[in-house]
Amino acid sequence: MSAIILGIESSCDDTSAAVIKDGYLLSNVVSSQAVHEAYGGVVPELASRAHQQNIVPVVHEALKRAGVTKEELSAVAFTRGPGLMGSLLVGVSFAKGFARSLNIPMIDVNHLTGHVLAHFIKAEGEEEERQPVYPFLCLLVSGGNSQIILVKAYNDMEILGQTIDDAAGEAIDKCSKVMGLGYPGGPIIDKLARQGNPKAFTFSKPHIPGLDYSFSGLKTSFLYSLRDWLKEDPDFIEHHKVDLAASLEATVVDILMDKLRKAAKEYKINEIAVAGGVSANNGLRNAFREHAEKYGWNIFIPKFSYTTDNAAMIAITGYFKYLDKDFCSIDLPAYSRVTL
């Protein structure tokens, strides 16, 4: 019998629902919340309220696009955490109520696991993508995380290194804010960087042992350098916008790739994947391609639609757990902070 999983994601500011049948994606609906743009960052209470408005129509649309009725569902998978508590509670409560009313199992999914397993989503009617072979390394880079993960199985992951302060996306967003660009800064910096010179400016890089990352020093270096340059030329940002963006992006990419290379060498693994919001970055994607050529890596870069928050990755994780009958109970709470 087929396994049809409804996935629900509401950890931050995207309300998303997706349907996966036997590992193949039938639909993936994402409703993003523009309400936060005016505030330069996600406002948790507004995010929670928007999820409440969006959740029913988004689920309805996902089922409709998949051509599946709710009675045909085998299980409901949902993001349990990490994320904003008020946002998570909307998806978690909806998923539990929906699953209970249909008398089908509910499956809790760790959002970070979902990002990593997005590489296993297959799309019907499309040429089959290559999939990583266990064990592989995954660089998970988002607004809240920068981690190098050793993925031994779908349910067995080990964090080899992670940021000791800011995440890569957070650092890019903050530097972009300092430059007076819009929110979120990542895609804006990416676009500007394509026209700039990545070697125009030099910013400090961290020297920390092992496989951990640090991005707060880069943020400070960017801020202080900019402050000095602005003293000499009040229009410095306007005059050098593209070069600033390109140099910032290149520094972040260098920091990320240096440690990833080190991990690949130490663990003798050349199956290397990237995931999370920052994996949409063109500079990072190019660096992966260059490393594949130079070091013989088998690289796995997600489709753009799977880089930011989406329920397809929750549904595929739910599918794997469903096959193992790894269900959860209705009294399971959401969690805002959790590791893999």
When asked if residue 187 is in the footprint of ligand KG4 (CB under 6 A), the reply is yes
- The single residue among 276, 299, 301, 302 that binds ligand KG4, judged by CB under 6 A, is 276
When asked if residue 172 is in the footprint of ligand KG4 (CB under 6 A), the reply is yes
**CA-to-CA distance for 7 and 59, rounded, in angstroms?**
9
- CA pseudo-torsion sign 115, 117, 123, 127: positive
Cβ closest to ligand KG4, residue 74 vs residue 247: 247
**CA-to-CA distance for 125 and 91, rounded, in angstroms?**
30
Q: How far is the CB of 118 from ligand KG4 (least distance, A)?
A: 10
**Per-residue interface string for the shown chain with ligand KG4, residues 2-41, x marking contact by CB under 6 A:** ----------x-----------------------------
Q: How far is the CB of 169 from ligand KG4 (least distance, A)?
A: 3
Contact range with ligand KG4 by CB under 6 A, out of 62-70, 72-80, 155-163, 273-281:
273-281
When asked if residue 190 is in the footprint of ligand KG4 (CB under 6 A), the reply is yes
Q: Decide if 247 contacts 196 (C-beta within 8 A).
A: yes
Of 193-232, binders to ligand KG4 (CB under 6 A) are: none
When asked if residue 144 is in the footprint of ligand KG4 (CB under 6 A), the reply is yes
**CA-to-CA distance for 261 and 265, rounded, in angstroms?**
6
> How far is the CA of 289 from the CAs of 69, 115, 284, in angstroms?
41, 20, 9
Of 113-142, binders to ligand KG4 (CB under 6 A) are: 142
Count of residues interacting with ligand KG4 (CB under 6 A): 19
- For strand 24-32 and strand 122-123, is the pairing parallel, antiparallel, or unpaired? parallel
Which tokens hold the place of 123?
């799309």
When asked if residue 186 is in the footprint of ligand KG4 (CB under 6 A), the reply is yes
| Cα Rg of the chain, angstroms | 20
Among 101, 137, 115, smallest CA distance to 14 is for 115
Which tokens hold the place of 326?
């790894």
Q: How far is the CB of 177 from ligand KG4 (least distance, A)?
A: 11
Residues at the interface with ligand KG4 (CB under 6 A): 12, 142-144, 169, 172-173, 184-187, 190, 276-278, 280-281, 308-309
